Structure 1
Amino acid sequence: MTHSSAPAKPALTSEDRSARIAVTVFPALILLAAAFGFFVPDVGQMLAPHTSLYLGVIMFAMGLTLTLPDFGLVARRPLPVLIGVVAQYVIMPLVGLGVSLLLQLPPELAVGVILVGCAPGGTSSNVITYLAKADTALSVTMTSISTLLAPLLTPLLTLWLAGSYLPVDAGSMAMSIVKMVLIPVIGGLVVRLVLGKLVDTVLPALPWVSVAGISLVVIAVVSGSTEAIVSAGAIVLLAVVLHNALGYLIGYWAARLLRQGERAARTTSIEVGMQNSGLAATLAASAFSPAAALPAAIFSIWHNLSGAMLAMYYRRSADLHPAAHPQKGRPQVDAA
């Protein structure tokens, strides 16, 4: 008599383990950073003048993870990439404005929420996509393209949507993004091309470099926003949760309505809902005020937590229908 048993689950690969550590540990570290900034604001204010440097380190680390094939997907599958990038710069900015109007946020907080929506995709969206068994290669390409477009689109969209709340110097913002984002990302990509073998040896450490950078940004922002947190923390959290959730939902259905497959739609959902909150926080603090950076700081914590929960939901659904959700691509475990 023979006994049948369910096949054993395959052992986790090192990439799976790194990705899961990223999703579980990063939000906790960022939450600790926020608490540190709130309870030890004097130290946080010492860090505040250097937030652009921290962001530059994060974006350089992102550039080191990129390869030329990541951009080749634009030529091979232009439509899903185009849908994702356009959705990124249409859905989240408009949702940010809508949430600000709905909750009647004061000008500084409204500008902060809108600026989060106008930021490019967050690099942590790539690891969430990987864990969700969606299309990791597509996510990496969407993030990369939206990041490269940020110097043009983020200032213009912020000026258009937030200019009625506070004055927006779009030219200065564009130059800041070029210095903090575009140059470091391209620099990292060039270093990867020239010193590929050396970079491969340090790739496992890059997630921790990135989370250290975003943690420093959060400490600096929160330390300058303690009064705003006490007076408006609950309403900002509500705004962030609504903004993020609507991004996931509308991003998914936008892709489905445009006849994209399930994996591409899930990838678009994650990519649209998760923003480069480190960039938004740094821009808000430098162009407006620490209070304007508060939504981005809270978004840094929340979108990693919500993304992990969404990945669990998508992954469970994919496990029920594995043939329809083949896992491809490599995980990217930068945090932003």
Structure 2
Amino acid sequence: MRALAALSRFVGNTFALWVLLFAVLAYFVPQAFLPLSIAIVPLLGLVMFGMGLTLKFEDFAEVARHPWRVLLGVVAHFVIMPGVAWLLCQLLRLPPEIAVGVILVGCCPSGTASNVMTWLSRGDLALSVAIAAVTTLLAPLLTPALIWLLASAWLPVSFGALFWSILQVVLLPIVLGLVAQRLLGARVRHLVDALPLVSVASIVIIIAAVVAASQAKIAESGLLIMAVVVLHNGFGFLLGYATGKLFGLPLPQRKSLALEVGMQNSGLGAALASAHFSPLAAVPSALFSVWHNLSGSLLATIFRRMKDESDKPAN
């Protein structure tokens, strides 16, 4: 069991590498990964169940201690990322399927990888976990509402269908995970050690399946989509950090806001796009998953070296 936990930690710490490796493999050998498409939704549900196993009711204590900080992070996340996505689609005049895919990933809740990056950056981990948890719990309502509001100009959007999909693959598995943790206690704790391995494997398979299904479209439009993804993620980091600074938050909280705003649950985006739109609409989420893990790691390294103003010695 100790060896499994060590392997799980290693795979979790090298998440970006595995995503990149298998995305490249799926691009060059798509036929090997196409059959995995049927597993996208179940695998995402498994990841969310694992999140439920790791969440504790104490994680929400940050909401009670500093409600306005959590509220600021949640509002910033659901305003900045969808807003930037919509603006990029308008300015760059993206084709409908790509535009919907970009907006879709922008409307997703915060990704769990942001918590890891916050920890690496010496940010406020409690705030990061609280924002990620609250945005995820609000996703069944806010994500389809925002997609319907912003993306309907490009393609028909069904609020009801998106709502039920997110309810089934996000909220229900998380609740089941919380219940299992509450009822079984120590008997499920050994499973938590293996969760990074399960989560990484699941996300890697989802991304590989999306890339394989869209290989021809990526070859045609991949550079454009990648440019949009880089801009979207970069503005998310920048505006998230600026929001924290504008509201006078200390450096650790500014780091958390930057990472929570800029990093998305792109696995959810890929699953929703594949189920409700088209393989091409899932490509922005797939590329976002590859890129935000690389950019998030780089930003965490930069943040880690930053010193808070309060740490400076007095003259």
TM range (shorter): over 0.9
Matched, 1:240 2:235: no
Q: Give 2:234's aligned amino acid.
A: A
Which of 153, 174, 178 is the equivalent residue of 1:189?
A: 178
Equivalent positions of 1:1-336 (< 5 A) are 22-23=12-13, 25-318=14-307, 323=311
Please give the per-residue CA displacement for 1:24-72, whole angstroms capped at 9, x wherever unaligned.
Answer: x111111122123222322322111221101001111111111010012
Question: How far is 1:298 from its partner?
Answer: 0.4
Q: Cα RMSD (Å) of the superposition?
A: 2.0
- Give the Cα separation in 2 of the matches to 1:41 and 1:264: 42
Residue-by-residue CA offset, 1:220-263 (whole Å, 9 max, x unaligned): 11111111110111111100000000000001111221222221
User: Match of 1:244, SS?
Assistant: helix
- Could you tell me how far apart the structure 2 residues matched to 1:147 and 1:26 are? 21
* Paired residue type of 2:25: F
Q: Using the alignment, how far apart are the partners of 2:220 and 2:111 within structure 1?
A: 28
TM value normalised by structure 2: 0.93
In structure 2, relative to structure 1, the CA distance for the partners of 1:114 and 1:53 (3 Å cut) is: same
User: Residues of 2 paired with 1:19 and 1:46: CA distance?
Assistant: 28
* Secondary structure in 2 matching 1:166: coil
Structure 1: gaps spanning 5 or more residues? 1-14, 325-336
Indicate the SS of the match to 1:134: coil
Deviation at 1:199, TM superposition (A): 2.7
> Which amino acid is 1:22 matched to?
G
CA distance in 1, matches of 2:177, 2:276: 26
Higher mean alpha-carbon deviation, 95-104 vs 233-242, is at 95-104
Alignment-mate amino acid for residue 179 of structure 2:
V
Give the letter for the 2:243 counterpart.
A
Following the alignment from structure 1 to structure 2, what is the Cα–Cα distance between the partners of residues 19 and 295?
A: 28
Q: Is the 8 A contact 2:8 2:194 kept in 1?
A: no
Pair 105,265 (structure 1): closer, same or farther in 2 beyond 3 Å: same
Q: Which moved more, 1:188-197 or 1:227-236?
A: 188-197
**Aligned-pair CA distance for 1:158:** 0.3
Letter in 1 for 2:64: A
Q: How far, CA to CA, are the matches of 2:9 and 2:84 in structure 1?
A: 29
Q: Secondary structure at the match of 2:255?
A: helix
Aligned length: 308
Q: Secondary structure at the match of 1:145?
A: helix
Contact 1:255 1:264 in 2 (8 A): yes
Matched residues in 1 for 2:310 and 2:194: separation? Answer: 31
Counterpart in the other structure of 1:8:
none
One-letter identity of the residue aligned with 2:12: A
- For residues 19 and 123 of structure 1, the distance between their equivalents in structure 2, rounded to whole angstroms, comes to 15
- Of residues 148-157 and 192-201 in structure 1, the stretch that sits farther from structure 2 once superposed is 192-201
CA–CA separation in structure 2 for the residues paired with 1:178 and 1:298: 24
